[in-house]
Every structure is written in structure tokens, then in C-alpha cells.
């Protein structure tokens, strides 16, 4: 059985609880069907991450059946859940964590509207202020890649590195989102589906109206650096 020091064990346990509970947000926001989709979270201060098992009903997900993995994507033997197979997207998540060291959470869904944009290989243009706030511009399209190895992870990293967006539409597949932690990545997954639906519906009614880049920049800066912060000097 693999054992860790007390602080590492506590950090692993906390991420197990968070990742297990966050899968309910995917169902609640109608981002997944059946057992599809996954959330993972990096264990702070370690070379480990936690991800859901493959093919397990969402109602049966629990901290003890989340799977602990090394950053090379291999399961840590002798740990809770290690008797199960990890998500089929594990290699992609592992690649992101190895190559984007500030990322603490990764999410994948097949949410309907975002996946429809991915099926067309079309980025979502930044034409609503909420999108400028959250993503700082359009949501880009990543390359077509087959599930099961690092190809998807490589496409995510190559597309999002240096990009403001925390979401990428992998062509013919669906959205992947990243965040400072698992909850932040889930928020991005919820938001990308919301803007994908809104912009799709808007386009059905006529031509979209672009937002000037200077306004996108200002909106993004305010939302990321000012919104929700206490006024200067406040106690």
C-alpha cells in the first residue's frame, strides 16, 4: 500500500472530496449525459492529481472511489479507488498538469451547444460582455485528436498556452476547461456552455455585433482584477 506523510494525505483527501462533489455540478448544469465527462484536481504541493473512475454512474461517485494518479497518468497503486480504471481522458489531464504548472483543475464535458461549435470546428466569437469578462475574447478551437493518449492534452496546451481563454473546443469532440483549481475549471465549463448557447441563438436572429477589442480588454481586466474585490481601505 502506498502511504504519504500526514499533510500530503490530508491534501489528497481534500481534493478527493472536492472532485467527487463537483461532478454533481456537471449533472446539475446539464453538461453531461450518462457517465460521460470528467473533473480532475491537482493535489497542491505534490506531483499528483485526482480524477474520476471510468464508467461509474454519477450518483455512485464518492471520495473513496476517485482515483489518485501520478503526473505521468499512472494510477498510484494501493490507494483508494486504484482497483478501478481511471477516466479515458486521464492522459490528456496529466499532460495539461505537466505542461501548465499553474493549472489546478481540468474539466471535460460534451455539453450540447459547445460541442455543436466543436463539431463545426468554429470558435465562439466574443460578442457578449459576459464572455469578455470570463474568457477575455473568443473561445478557440483545438485540433482533432483521438482519445486515449496525450494527443488531446497536447492540443489543449498548444491552443490555450498564452491565450486568455480557459476553455478550448476540441474539434469534433467537445470542450475542455482549465482553472486555478477544480472548482474554477467547473465554473469555466458551465460558462462556456452558457455563452455557446447564447451566441448560437443570437446568430439565428441575424448578424452578430462585434465588441471592440479595447472594450474586451477593459471588461476582462475589470472582471479578473476588480470585480468582487473589497474597496481599497475597507476592513
Q: How far is CA 134 from CA 21, 156, 172, in A?
A: 23, 18, 24
Confirm whether 233 is domain-assigned: no
Picking from 47-51, 201-205, 226-230, which range would have the lowest pLDDT averaged per residue?
Answer: 226-230
In a domain, 234, yes or no: no
| Structural domain of 74 | 6-225
In a domain, 203, yes or no: yes
Paired with 70 in beta bridges are: 48
pLDDT tens by residue, 133-185: 999 999 999 999 998 889 999 999 999 999 999 999 999 999 999 999 999 99
pTM surpassing 0.85? yes
Give the closest residue to 167 by CA, choosing from 187, 196, 139, 195: 139
Distance from C-alpha of 150 to C-alpha of 158, rounded to nearest angstrom: 12
Q: Give per-residue pLDDT as tens, 83-136.
A: 999 999 999 999 999 999 999 999 999 999 999 999 999 999 999 999 999 999
Evaluate whether residue 148 is within a structural domain.
yes
- For residue 231, the model assigns a pLDDT of 52
In the chain, the number of structural domains is 1
In angstroms, the CA 61 to CA 27 distance is 12
Give me the pLDDT at residue 24, please.
Answer: 96
**Alpha-carbon distance 100 to 157, whole Å?**
7
174: domain CATH number is 3.40.225.10
Do the domain assignments include residue 232?
Answer: no
3 state DSSP class of 121: coil
Amino acid at each position: 500500500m502506498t502511504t504519504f506523510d500526514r499533510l500530503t494525505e490530508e491534501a489528497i483527501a481534500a481534493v478527493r472530496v472536492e472532485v467527487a462533489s463537483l461532478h454533481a455540478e456537471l449533472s446539475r448544469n446539464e453538461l453531461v449525459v450518462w457517465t460521460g465527462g470528467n473533473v480532475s484536481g491537482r493535489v497542491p504541493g505534490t506531483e499528483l492529481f485526482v480524477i474520476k473512475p471510468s464508467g461509474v454512474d454519477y450518483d455512485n461517485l464518492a471520495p473513496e472511489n476517485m482515483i489518485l494518479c501520478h503526473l505521468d497518468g499512472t494510477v498510484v497503486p494501493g490507494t483508494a479507488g486504484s482497483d478501478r480504471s481511471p477516466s479515458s481522458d486521464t492522459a490528456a489531464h496529466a499532460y495539461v498538469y505537466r505542461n501548465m504548472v499553474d493549472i489546478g483543475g481540468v474539466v471535460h464535458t460534451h455539453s450540447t451547444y459547445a460541442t455543436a461549435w466543436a463539431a463545426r470546428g468554429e470558435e465562439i466569437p466574443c460578442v457578449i460582455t459576459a464572455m469578455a469578462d470570463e474568457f477575455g475574447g473568443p473561445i478557440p478551437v483545438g485540433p482533432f485528436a483521438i482519445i486515449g493518449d496525450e494527443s488531446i492534452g497536447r492540443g489543449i496546451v498548444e491552443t490555450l498556452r498564452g491565450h486568455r481563454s480557459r476553455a478550448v473546443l476540441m474539434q469534433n469532440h467537445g470542450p475542455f476547461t482549465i482553472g486555478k483549481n477544480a472548482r474554477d475549471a467547473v465554473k469555466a465549463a458551465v460558462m462556456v456552455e452558457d455563452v455557446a448557447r447564447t451566441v448560437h441563438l443570437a446568430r439565428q436572429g441575424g448578424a452578430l455585433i462585434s465588441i471592440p477589442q479595447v472594450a474586451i480588454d477593459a471588461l476582462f481586466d475589470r472582471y479578473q482584477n476588480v470585480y468582487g474585490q473589497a474597496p481599497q481601505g475597507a476592513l
